[in-house]
């Protein structure tokens, strides 16, 4: 079934929720429905249109870590542009692994600043040593990526429902013909 666009009280897009979550928020009195689909939701004694866009009645303040890039294997590869940080060669995902710059056995942590993309050959060559002990040099120091709001909003909305457009593209100039 369809998904529902959830807006903050200020009409800013927050997230996309499953239609069942949307119905739950509606029955709790936490949202107002702004747009609906042509599909009906039917219960034993009630029937109503499936919400397409809903706005929270109370403002939700987002935590700063809400905007942080998730720490994951694919995001490490993306940060490093699918390039081994030791031999400087670009690889396909299945040819890559990640490496702890400071090995865990030597006190290294699982953080953005200690994990880099490595090909299998370089990872085996470095083994449980720090790069200089293995005679290797990093392409660049690993850092936590910055979050970009526009990027998050634009990913996955290419085929968004027509009813969402007024709420997703509010910062884009309209054509003169519109």
Question: For residue 8, what pLDDT is reported?
Answer: 92
The tokens 């935590």 sit on which residue?
63
State the average pLDDT for the chain: 85
pLDDT at 156: 54
Q: Using CB atoms within 10 A of its CB, is residue 100 exposed (0-12), middle (13-18) or buried (19+)?
A: buried
Contact at 8 Å (CB) between 35 and 53? yes
pLDDT at position 3 over 90: no
Residues of the chain above pLDDT 90, percent = 56
Q: pLDDT (tens digit, 9 = 90+) per residue, 21-76?
A: 999 999 999 999 999 999 888 888 988 899 999 999 999 887 655 556 788 888 89
pLDDT value of residue 75: 86
- Count of helix runs (H) and strand runs (E) in the chain: 5, 6
Joined together, the tokens standing for residue 34 give: 């702004």
Q: Do residues 114 and 142 lie in contact, with contact meaning Cβ atoms separated by under 8 Å?
A: yes
Local structure of 77: helix, strand or coil: helix
The C-alpha atoms of residue 57 and residue 125 are separated, in whole angstroms, by 57
pLDDT surpasses 80 at 86? yes
Residue given tokens 């870590």 in the structure block = 65
Q: What is the pLDDT of residue 153?
A: 47
Residues 6+ apart with CB under 8 A from 123: 97, 99
- What is the rounded CA–CA span in Å between residue 29 and residue 24? 9
More confident residue, 126 or 162: 126
Token readout for 84 is 């081994």
Segment 25-39, tens digit of pLDDT: 999 999 999 999 998
> What's the confidence (pLDDT) of residue 66?
55
Spell out the residues 6+ positions from residue 158 whose beta carbon is closer than 8 angstroms to its own: none
What's the pLDDT tens digit per position in 126-157?
A: 999 999 999 999 999 999 987 654 444 444 55
* DSSP bridge partners of 49: 40
């Amino acid at each position: 079934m369809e998904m529902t666009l959830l807006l903050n009280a200020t009409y800013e897009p927050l997230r996309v929720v499953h239609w069942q979550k949307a119905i739950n928020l509606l029955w709790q009195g936490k949202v107002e429905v702004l747009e609906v689909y042509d599909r009906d939701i039917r219960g034993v004694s009630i029937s109503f249109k499936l919400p397409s866009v809903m706005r929270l009645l109370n403002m939700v303040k987002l935590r700063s870590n809400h905007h942080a890039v998730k720490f994951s294997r694919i995001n490490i590869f993306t940060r490093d542009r699918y390039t081994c940080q030791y031999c400087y060669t670009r690889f396909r995902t299945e040819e890559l692994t990640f490496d702890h710059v400071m090995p865990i056995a030597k006190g290294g942590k699982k953080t953005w600043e200690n994990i880099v993309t490595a090909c299998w050959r370089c990872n085996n060559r470095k083994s449980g040593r720090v790069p200089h002990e293995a005679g290797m040099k990093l392409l660049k120091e690993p850092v936590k990526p910055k979050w970009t709001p526009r990027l998050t909003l634009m990913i996955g909305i290419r085929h968004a429902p027509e009813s969402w457009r007024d709420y997703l593209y509010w910062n884009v100039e309209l054509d003169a013909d519109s």
